[in-house]
Amino acid sequence: KSDSDTYTCDIGDAQSRAKLVVQEMPVLFKQELQNEEAKEGKQVKLTCELSKPDTPVKWMKGDTVLYASEKYEFKQCGTVAELIIRDVKSIDS
């Protein structure tokens, strides 16, 4: 997007100008979350893949935003975002 501007081709006696407008690509899911099953007390990892690397991700359980804690860990590398839920209980369903 920062490349958007007016560009000029200058040959000394004449110039030609054009305006470049760079539109941001929408972020899409290349791989959506998959349903998981886990036994109580175990750890589960939810993974999704995005079309644009390093896109900010907000994890939620229902309508509640999750925050990093002993229970929840977030990882993101390039286009892959992961939520790790430790010591799952039935209430985590």
Looking at residue 39, its pLDDT comes to 92
- What is the structure's pLDDT at 77? 93
**In-domain check, residue 43:** yes
75 found inside a domain? yes
- Inside any domain, residue 92: no
In a domain, 76, yes or no: yes
**Per-residue 3-state assignment (H helix, E strand, C coil) for the chain:** CCCCEEEEEECCCCEEEEEECCCCCCCCEEECCCCCCCCCCCCEEEEEEECCCCCCCCCEECCEECCCCCCEEEEEECCEEEEEECCCCHHHC
Better-predicted residue by pLDDT, 28 or 9: 9
Q: What confidence score (pLDDT) does residue 32 get? A: 84
Question: Residue 70 falls within a domain, yes or no?
Answer: yes
Quick check: is 26 in a domain?
Answer: no
- Residue 37 belongs to some domain of the structure: yes
Domain membership of residue 41 as a residue range: 33-48+59-84
Report pLDDT for 29: 83
Tens digits of per-residue pLDDT, 31-86? 888 999 899 999 999 999 999 898 899 999 999 999 999 999 999 999 999 999 99
Does a structural domain hold residue 42?
yes
Question: In the chain, how many domains are there?
Answer: 1
